[in-house]
């Protein structure tokens, strides 16, 4: 799609890109997940300023917005956290740095980027491609064997025989349906397996009292069964990792070691078979969702909400609200909780308005609270009032990219299409003039939103002096899901379970995705989108596991689902979820083929 749209570029009076930098006192507790850590070094990156935690793990440090705190401790992974406008408390959990040096000498070397390693792959036989990026045997810090495919013996039943010949001490067990005891032996392994598939025990596993067979990663796809469908002639390179440090990222499934295989026909830009659509990432591993993993979403419901739901009539509810406000006057989360309940019935409109007024005025300088409020107003369809809140956030955060997306979407919801288009144009202009850095993660969401505005309402947007070009690209049609969260420190996992019950997990954690989180803070955005191509062919389920936000406050997650995106039949639903119960999966909602979103 390629069109030129002419817009009026309105002057946004009072909106600037400069923010007053103030020195902030940051305090918190550092733990290992169970106990506090004393003598943790906390320093401001690229400076000589720093402090240490006391014997209770507590610390205080002064820093400016935009500066980065570095947490370091012997035996733990270093952590870096950028200070933002609202940062006051940072309770940090540090994780073990696993290093197993098995006859490997490690020397200091410069770290190359993934792009550089990708370019070297064909010539550098020490490199192996994995689902977690390209690994360099010379720099991993743990033992790894790598064999070029041309050196793999093609003699034998399959490539497993060549693998066994290459790894001294490896044992291969080839059960079959006719061998007595074969089924019981496999039952001890605890994996449903084809009895004709060989099982490989790597040397390290054979020294265990209860050996676990190896798993296989083939071009980024994880298999528990040996992929004997592969021809030895199609294998480009094989790596074997037995070290604890090397297998840690694969989890307990890889306790027996991992055999990584790069094929000659492997394609990292994998497409769905027979189409040009992106590969469903839920199929990247042969894992299946178990409903028993879900926790109870109401486990952390405050006692006052239980009392509120037990009130019998409007008069009793009003009396209860008046009494509780004296107790929770300084808690924005109390007002957000009761607002979600009051919004469920028109009978409580006066109470909802009172809660909104308190949040608007009493917490006017906290963009996290204001965004959570705006999310709830969006979900309730109160778009004009939500628009006033987003304006307030924009004034507090004119240097945040998310402010432009939020306010433009809000103008669109409120029916002011010209203002919405102008803000998109304004942001793109600021990127072009280098006031903002271009972020691919954020620009994808913004571009899809802007292109959709033009697709749906281009004929209603007036003409003016500024020409805005819709970006080229194949126009997506299907279900689009956009997630936004109010607290940039929030860590969580989003899980997408496809109709075949296979799942893909997006990790939004410092441990697994620190570069992405740093990018979000530098550019000032907190959103992620997912596209489900047609036909859906069943029900998709979306779950979330909340891991905290380094403080004792909840995080609010907004999900906007666009059905029949970019078509005349497009419809939208907005739901808001309060994340507070940590470390258990919560079922958020499901999407079925009838374009229906069902909140769980």
pTM for this prediction: 0.66
| Distances 465 to 8, 33, 313, 432, 468 between C-alpha atoms, Å | 6, 57, 57, 18, 10
Residues of the domain holding 249: 114-268
Q: Compute CA 17 distance to the chain's CA centroid, rounded to the nearest angstrom.
A: 28
Q: CATH code at 169?
A: 2.170.130.10
Of 541, 490, 540, nearest to 517 (Cα)? Answer: 490
Q: Which of 69, 84, 99 is the endpoint of a domain?
A: 84
Residues 201 and 149 in one domain: yes
Residue 232 lies in a domain: yes
> Where do the DSSP E strands lie in 404-487?
466-469, 478-485
Of 24, 44, 20, 15, nearest to 86 (Cα)? Answer: 24
Residue 122 lies in a domain: yes
Residues 161 and 38 in one domain: no
Residues 172 and 259 in one domain: yes
Residues 235 and 126 in one domain: yes
CB 559 within 8 A of CB 270: no
Residues 33 and 168 in one domain: no
By 3-state DSSP, what share of the chain in percent is helix, strand and coil, each rounded to 5?
Answer: 30, 25, 40
Of 485, 491, 578, nearest to 527 (Cα)? Answer: 485
DSSP letters of 336-354? Answer: HHHHHHHTT-GGGHHHHHH
Residue 9 lies in a domain: no
pLDDT at 177: 40
Residue 54 lies in a domain: yes
CB 57 within 8 A of CB 36: yes
Residues 182 and 37 in one domain: no
pLDDT at 599: 60
Residue 226 lies in a domain: yes
Residue 256 lies in a domain: yes
Distance separating alpha carbons of residues 223 and 243, to the nearest angstrom:
19
pLDDT at 186: 42
Residues 249 and 126 in one domain: yes
Q: How many domains does the chain have?
A: 2
* Burial class for 16, CB neighbours closer than 10 Å (0-12, 13-18, 19+): exposed
Distance separating alpha carbons of residues 537 and 47, to the nearest angstrom:
55
Distance separating alpha carbons of residues 570 and 564, to the nearest angstrom:
5
Residues 219 and 264 in one domain: yes
Residues 42 and 185 in one domain: no
Q: CATH code at 50?
A: 2.60.40.1120
Residues 181 and 78 in one domain: no
Residue 420 lies in a domain: no
- Residue 560: Cβ within 10 Å count: 23
- Residue 105: Cβ within 10 Å count: 5
> What would the two tokens of residue 397 be?
């955060």
> Where do the DSSP E strands lie in 210-362?
215-218, 221-223, 235-241, 258-263
Residues 45 and 169 in one domain: no
Residues 263 and 204 in one domain: yes
List phi, psi (to 5°) of 225.
Answer: -95, 150
Q: Which of 32, 66, 84 is the endpoint of a domain?
A: 84
List, for the chain, all residue ranges whose pLDDT scores fall below the cut of 50: 1-19, 100-109, 177-194, 268-270, 284-285, 298, 463-470, 472-473
pLDDT at 360: 95
Q: Which of 230, 248, 268 is the endpoint of a domain?
A: 268
Residue 368 lies in a domain: no
């Amino acid at each position: 799609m390629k069109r030129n749209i002419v817009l009026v570029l309105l002057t946004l009076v009072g909106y600037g890109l400069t923010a007053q930098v103030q020195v902030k006192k940051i305090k918190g507790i550092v733990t290992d997940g169970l106990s506090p850590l004393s003598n943790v070094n906390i320093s401001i990156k690229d400076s000589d300023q720093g402090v240490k935690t006391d014997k209770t793990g507590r610390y205080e440090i002064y820093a400016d917005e935009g500066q980065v705190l570095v947490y370091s401790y012997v035996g733990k992974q270093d952590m870096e956290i950028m200070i933002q406008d609202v940062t006051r408390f940072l309770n940090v959990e540090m994780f073990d740095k696993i290093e197993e040096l098995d006859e490997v000498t490690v020397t200091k070397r410069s770290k190359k980027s993934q792009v550089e390693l990708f370019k070297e792959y064909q010539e550098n036989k020490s490199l192996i491609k994995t689902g977690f990026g390209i690994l360099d045997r010379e720099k991993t810090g743990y033992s790894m064997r790598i064999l070029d495919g041309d050196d793999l013996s093609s003699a034998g039943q399959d490539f497993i025989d060549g693998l066994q010949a290459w790894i001294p001490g490896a044992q291969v067990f080839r059960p079959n349906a006719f061998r007595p005891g074969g089924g019981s032996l496999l039952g001890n392994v605890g994996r449903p397996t084809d009895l004709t598939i060989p099982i490989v025990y790597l040397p390290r596993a054979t020294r265990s009292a209860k050996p676990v067979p190896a798993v296989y990663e083939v071009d980024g796809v994880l298999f528990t069964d040996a992929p004997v469908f592969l021809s030895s002639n199609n294998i480009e390179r094989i790596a074997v990792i037995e070290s604890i440090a090397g297998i840690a990222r694969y989890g307990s499934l890889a306790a027996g070691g991992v055999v990584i295989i790069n094929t000659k026909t492997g394609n990292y830009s994998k497409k769905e078979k027979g189409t040009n659509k992106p590969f469903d990432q839920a199929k990247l591993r042969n894992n299946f969702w178990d409903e028993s993993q879900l926790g109870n979403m109401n486990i952390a419901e405050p006692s006052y909400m239980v009392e509120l739901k037990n009130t019998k009539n409007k008069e009793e509810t009003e009396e209860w609200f008046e009494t509780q406000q004296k107790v929770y006057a300084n808690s924005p989360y109390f007002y957000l909780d009761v607002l979600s309940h009051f919004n469920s019935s028109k009978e409580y409109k006066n109470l909802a308005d009172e809660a909104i007024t308190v949040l608007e005025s009493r917490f006017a300088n906290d963009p996290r609270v204001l965004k959570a409020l705006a999310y709830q107003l969006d979900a309730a369809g109160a778009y004009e009032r939500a628009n006033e809140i987003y304006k307030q956030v924009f004034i507090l955060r004119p240097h945040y990219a998310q402010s432009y997306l939020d306010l433009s979407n809000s103008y669109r919801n409120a029916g002011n299409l010209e203002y919405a288009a102008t803000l998109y144009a304004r942001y793109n202009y600021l990127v072009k003039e280098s006031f903002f850095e271009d972020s691919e993660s954020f620009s994808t969401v913004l571009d899809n939103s802007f292109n959709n505005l033009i697709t749906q309402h281009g004929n209603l947007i007036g003409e003016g002096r500024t020409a805005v070009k819709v970006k080229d690209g194949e126009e997506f049609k299907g279900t689009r899901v956009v997630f936004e969260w109010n607290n940039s420190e929030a860590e969580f996992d989003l899980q997408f379970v496809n109709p075949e019950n296979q799942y893909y997990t997006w990790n939004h954690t410092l441990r697994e995705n620190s570069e992405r989180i740093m990018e979000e803070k530098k550019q000032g955005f907190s959103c992620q989108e997912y596209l489900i191509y047609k036909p859906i062919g069943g029900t998709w389920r979306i779950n979330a596991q909340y891991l905290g936000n380094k403080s004792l406050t909840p995080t609010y997650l907004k999900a906007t689902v666009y059905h029949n995106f970019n078509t005349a039949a497009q419809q939208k639903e907005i739901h808001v979820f309060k994340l507070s119960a940590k470390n258990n999966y919560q079922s958020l909602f499901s999407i079925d083929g009838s374009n229906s979103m069902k909140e769980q």
